[in-house]
Amino acid sequence: MLKVTRLIAVVLVAASAFSCASGPKAANAKTAATPAWVLSPRDSYPESQFLAAVGSGPSRAEAASKAMAALISVFGQSVTSSSTAMQHYAQAAKNGDITVDKSFSVNDTVNASFEYKLILGAEIKETWYDGKSAYYALAAMDKLKSSLAYSQMLEKDSATIEELTSVPEADRNSLETFRRYALAADIADVDGQFVNILSVLSPGAAAASDAKTGATLRAEQMKIGQNLAFSVTVSGDQGDRIKSAIASVITGAGFKTGDPSDSRYAVQAKIDISEITLQGNDNKFARYVLDVQIKDSKSDTVLIPFSDNGRSGQATLAEAENRALRSAETAIKEKLGKAFTDYLATYSK
């Protein structure tokens, strides 16, 4: 029994000694297997040449996405795709109205949002799986290459803005010029983000930029709008209610209303309200049919066609007609208002 006890003791001591000896070695082996860029990105991608960030996740795609998000965070609030200006800029690029850098995209391993596309030259340079459950990815930008890309984008955008705002004086007070300035201001707003990003990559290049501001261009746009007048004529109106609703859309956009004789733009509308009968229903029903055209009298072209219809049921015909008229007013302020705003905010060469 004594021999067995001694044998067990020897085994336990040996096991303990093996555990103490193998623990640090195993830890060191794992550290050695981990790529240097995971532990310290700046050692592998020097800060003097690169911006770099690491992300991790349960899949390669998620790790890449988090790495790009971490890289974007370096620029703080300088990058956002949620603004209307950015959406218009993207549409202009799609239409070919502006020329964007060929690197206006990211590595295919990333499920890219538009924020990523703003980060010119950003790439997923490294990926690694730890053999257990985590993937790692490193996103990086070459400062010199990206700075050059941004500077070229700003130069091209500046030329586009100059083209959009160079309008002969005789054509200056027009909706087309108003819309041209809208696009120019949107481009300038996005260029403001580019300058902010460039200030992180190359402060000297950012300081040398002479990009116009969206605020300055919009102030000029508003001056043009104040010189534009719209006449409003409505047939079938009751108490000028439809005319007033249309006028509120026009003035709400910064324009004025005037007589047909001194207004280049004309809003011509027709409202028809009629009784309808629904079988088996004792209520009285009225249906409205609304047609509106916003026209350029100088070129005799329809800029915005709009139509809407609906019905309303009430205890009396007078109440039903009044409700139908109110629905038509709402359609003008909301639906026509949106169509008018969208038209003013978009321009394609």
At 291, which CATH number?
3.30.160.150
Q: Does the residue 8 lie in any domain? A: no
In contact, 100 and 153? CB cutoff 8 Å: yes
Residue at a domain's end among 163, 197, 225? 225
Q: Which helix (H) or strand (E) holds 125?
A: strand 123-129
Residue at a domain's end among 121, 143, 165? 143
Closest alpha carbon to 269 in 312, 317, 310, 302:
302
Q: How confident is the model at residue 4 (pLDDT cuts 50, 70, 90)?
A: very low
Q: Does the residue 26 lie in any domain? A: no
Q: Does the residue 24 lie in any domain? A: no
Residue at a domain's end among 110, 143, 176? 143
Residue type at 100 in one-letter notation = V
Q: Report pLDDT for 101.
A: 66
Q: Does the residue 317 lie in any domain? A: yes
265 and 334 in a single domain? The answer is yes
Which tokens sit at 174? 């027009």
Q: Tokens 């916003």 sit at which residue? A: 294
Q: Does the residue 5 lie in any domain? A: no
Host domain of residue 134 = 36-143
Q: Which residues pair with 54 in a beta bridge?
A: 138
Residues sharing a CB contact under 8 Å with residue 167, sequence separation 6 or more, in sequence order: 177, 180
pLDDT tens sequence across 195-240: 999 999 999 999 988 888 999 999 999 999 999 999 999 999 999 9
61 and 118 in a single domain? The answer is yes
Of 10 and 53, the one with more pLDDT: 53
In contact, 126 and 37? CB cutoff 8 Å: yes
Range name among 3-7, 129-133, 316-320 with the lowest pLDDT average: 3-7
Domain count, the chain: 3
Task: Return the CATH number at 86.
Answer: 3.10.28.20
Q: What is the pTM of this model?
A: 0.79
251 and 291 in a single domain? The answer is yes
